[in-house]
Amino acid sequence: MPTPLPPSSAERQYHVNGRAAVVATRERGSSTPRKERQGQRESSALQDPGLKDYRLGECLGKGAFGSVYKAFNWGTGEAVAVKQIKLADLPKSELRMIESEIDLLKNLHHDNIVKYLGSFFFSYDVDITRHWATRAQSPSDGLPLYRRVKPTFFWNRNTSQPFIDSGNDALVLPLMQGFVGQREFIMDKSPPQHDEDAKNALEMSNMSAPTSPPGSPPAEAIRGSLDLRASEKKFLITVISRRSIKRAGLRYLRRGVDEDGHVANAVETEQILSNSSWDKSSKIYSFLQIRGSIPLFFTQSPYSLKPAPVIQHSTEANFEASKKHFERLHREYGMLQVVNLVEKHNVEATIGNEYQNAVAKLNETVFSDHTSQVPFEWFDFHAACRGMKFENVSLLLDAMRTKLDELGSTVEKDGELFLRQRGVLRTNCMDCLDRTNVCQSSFAKYMLESQLKAEGYDLSMQVDQQSAWFNTLWADNGDSVSKQYASTAAMKGDYTRYKTRNYRGMLNDLGFSLTRFYNG
């Protein structure tokens, strides 16, 4: 049984004041079961004097040299990250490097480092900052991790600068703000016409409130313990949203565009379809879409529940900013399709008209070539869905089917790209949150159906017509993006999650509106 040596200045050091703690322990080899060794390591970590009041929480991540855990002080409510480093069999040179890294940590004080716990993501193995079609363009694996990620989604670059300047590349872990979630589901090429057991199980599951955290697989699948039929196959759907660092900030503090063409609340969302094991011999599908504030200079007062947008600067200045914005999108994504969801009447009409005029001028001057034209679809969401008739979103989907088929998906097999998505839909409402969430999930559902049909599966013929695994995943995505920009979960989320709209959902939305108004 491994026995941790008594702590010494060389073997165990910690730092809590900056809301980060590093614990290094030396252990001898042992045949003790892995789970028991893990429990002993966690226990020894909290025997440190500086951590005696903390309780170890879930594991945040594991690397080659150690693991990172949440820890909470139940007396003060303080949360810290505890990194436990393995020192067994390390040469003295590496021990000295770890000690110098700990000394560097002790001089850093970032009191808000855990403020947005749960909205930042990282990966050691997969570059989640790049969508599927561009991952092959990622720099060489020989470079440090922070130099391989896409700078637009590298959120902790500034706080990591002391590590970069001191040459401690191993301590720089790039974080992406947004959302990452997965769901596993089963498709049947020859679905039974009647399956009362599955139906009853589905009805019972709907009676209980969901307990799994956002983006994670449900605790129990309806048929998880049963063997698959010959005609069945497990698939995995992954949704990744990447929020840009450009023009970042909270709602009403960051609106519209800046002089460089960057817009507020710019989010790239990717839906990936694969088999449950990520087997490269099977096809992997990726569908990409983007959102972002209307690329004009405008402001809105935070002192009204529905403030009127006030356009700023001259028409020419607004056009130049829009031009930079769309030229950048065209270089990065290819073909573009604008989906504008603001009202055609009332307070939103003025900025909607200005937006439409700017895109029309772009098509006459910058994108005069027919192949590069930017179509502009103006769908007045509130007018079309008035009276809680959210099923009328299908009218927008009908208008976009041809364009979605034209843009297509990225398809990879055996590590090679067979197809590359030709362009993206750029969707916006005023906040690029609630209406945008509903419509983007509708577009994603249509593309998922097309991808499954290419694999020989018909989603419309399955026993489970509610597709709760899809709805929950996209509702969680919408809530995450909304909380990061507007401090509340998404409004209209009941339709995204349950495909129904009722007065309870409207009351929830009223509460969200008041919270957003209070937070400004």
Average pLDDT of the segment spanning 83-105: 69
Global pTM reads: 0.71
Average pLDDT of the segment spanning 183-194: 84
* Confidence at 294, pLDDT banded by 50, 70, 90: very high
Domains of the chain: 20-105 (3.30.200), 120-171 (no CATH), 179-204+229-519 (no CATH)
* Confidence at 341, pLDDT banded by 50, 70, 90: very high
How many alpha carbons fall within 13 Å on the CB side of residue 79?
A: 13
Rg of the chain over all Cα atoms, to the nearest angstrom: 25
What is the DSSP track for 78-100? Answer: -EEEEEEEE-TT--HHHHHHHHH
pLDDT above 90 for 394: yes
Give me the percent of the chain exceeding a pLDDT of 70: 68
In three-state form (DSSP H/G/I as H, E/B as E, the rest C), the secondary structure along 230-267 is: CCEEEEEEEEEEEECCCCCCCCCCCCCECCCCCECCCE
Q: What is the pLDDT of residue 504?
A: 67
- The CA-atom distances, in angstroms, between 324 and each of 261, 262, 359 are 5, 8, 12
pLDDT above 90 for 269: yes
Looking up tokens 């429990």, which residue turns up? 39
306 is in an annotated binding site: no
- The CA-atom distances, in angstroms, between 253 and each of 153, 407, 410, 429, 454 are 20, 34, 36, 17, 44
Tokens matching residue 340: 């504008």
pLDDT: which is higher, 142 or 172: 172
Instruction: Find the Cα–Cα–Cα–Cα dihedral 95, 125, 215, 455, rounded to 10°.
Output: -160
Q: How many residues does the chain have?
A: 520
Tokens matching residue 111: 């009191």
Q: What is the pLDDT of residue 221?
A: 46
Q: What is the pLDDT of residue 231?
A: 86
For residue 99, give the amino acid letter. Answer: E
pLDDT above 80 for 400: yes
Q: What is the pLDDT of residue 485?
A: 80
pLDDT: which is higher, 73 or 468: 468
**444-498 per-position pLDDT tens digit:** 999 999 999 999 999 988 877 668 889 999 999 998 998 888 766 666 666 666 5
Tokens matching residue 322: 């829009």
* Rounded Cα gap, residues 381 and 347, in angstroms: 14
Alpha-carbon torsion (5, 7, 8, 10), positive or negative: positive
pLDDT above 50 for 373: yes
Query: How many of the other CB atoms lie within 10 Å of CB of 53?
Result: 15
pLDDT: which is higher, 110 or 370: 370
pLDDT above 70 for 507: no
Q: What is the pLDDT of residue 345?
A: 92
- Find all residues with CB under 8 Å of 23, minimum gap 6, and list them: 12, 13, 14, 45, 48, 51, 82, 83, 84, 85
